[in-house]
Amino acid sequence: MLTITKALYDQIVGHARKDHPDEACGVVAGPVGGGRPERFIPMLNAARSPTFYEFESADLLALYREMDDRLEEPVIIYHSHTATEAYPSRTDISYASEPDAHYVLVCTADIDGAGQFQFRSFQIIEGEVTEEDVKVVELY
């Protein structure tokens, strides 16, 4: 289960909505071994595409160095889908390289016609996708 604060949840959704119609992407870091998302880090989608996201390699390298210095790890790796449901694509699955991370997808398309968005979390380990519950809390 992914437990996330309302503030972080709102930041992820806000980033996805702001970057629409392009896919948004980013990381939420937390203390190594703690599994608790704490620090919101929106990233630039280097692909600037409505159907694909890509972290800028120099930005990603700098982020991992910064997380190492701060004794953090990526707890959540998120991106948005702008026209399809919030479920990992084959490309998303092939790029999933953090077995301990929660992969969050936000769909900014009006899939159900009610103006709602989807916020879903997955574990992706060795190509196997498992959806998990999301619990939004005010504080940890």
Asked whether residue 122 carries a pLDDT value surpassing 70, the answer given is: yes
Query: Residue 132 contacts by C-beta under 8 Å, 6 or more apart in sequence?
Result: 1, 2, 102, 121, 122, 123
> Domain range holding 26?
2-137
Asked whether residue 111 carries a pLDDT value surpassing 60, the answer given is: no
* pLDDT tens readout for residues 35-77: 999 999 999 999 999 999 999 999 999 999 999 999 999 999 9
The pTM (predicted TM-score) of the whole model is 0.94
Torsion angle of C-alpha atoms 72, 10, 116, 2, degrees rounded to 10: 40
- Count up the domains in the chain and report the number: 1
In CATH, what number is assigned to the domain containing residue 15? Answer: 3.40.140.10
pLDDT computed for residue 113 by the predictor: 58
